[in-house]
Amino acid sequence: MDDGQPLFRWSWVVSNWDNDSPNSIVNLLQAHIVMSAVPVIVGLLVSLPLGLLCVRWRWLYQPVSGLMNAVYALPSLALFMILLAVTGAEPVTVIIPLTFYAMAVLIPAVVDGLASVPEHVRQSAVAMGFTPLRRLVQVELPIAVPVVLAGMRVVAVSSISLVSVGALIGQGGLGNFFTDAYQRDFYTPAIAGIVLIVLLALVADGALVLLQRLLTPWMRARRSA
């Protein structure tokens, strides 16, 4: 960066906000949202039944948890590079590893959430004639919601952050601004990318907090009592 030049140029933001380029701010923001949201959603859809199976058959939890922890320990860039030879430089190359990372957090969250349901609550539901499915849907899952959503908050923020690493294979959403800034020795794209990623993480976290409040109205009533 030349001496005397401003650290951040608003003119760059205006000219690159929404244009025909695939690297415009709007296009990269949309790509970033998709690549970070899909792993969270798919991870939850897979983790719920797996978590239920782990609660039903406790012996299953240790091998599943061990496998997920092993995957979680693998560097994301290494997984991106391995998948690159199979799936190519496509968004799915980033989405697949992040989905496994999400499952590594969400499966324990589902198991812990269901384990937090008091036994006397389960017995009361049985005494009232609830079928196992009705008890799960109307009693156990609602009580487990705070624990599961706490895991989802971690997963959402980490996914939004890790998508940026995909810029090294050309699929990093807003992270592409980091490589662009480095290559051109021009800080504005990097600053814009950081600010937008932080804002995106705050919005996602706030949305999940709001969702928890909507799904657990009894907790608000308890606090106000």
**Sequence ranges of the domains in the chain:** 16-224
Contact criterion met (CB below 8 Å) for 193 and 73: no
Q: pLDDT per position in the chain (225 positions), as tens? A: 455 567 778 888 888 888 778 888 999 999 999 999 999 999 999 999 999 999 989 899 999 989 998 988 988 888 888 898 888 889 999 999 999 999 999 999 999 999 888 888 888 888 888 888 888 888 888 889 999 999 999 999 999 999 999 888 888 889 999 988 888 888 899 999 999 999 999 999 999 999 998 888 766 655 555
Fold category of 16-224 in CATH: MetI-like fold (1.10.3720)
Whether pTM > 0.85 for this model: the answer is yes
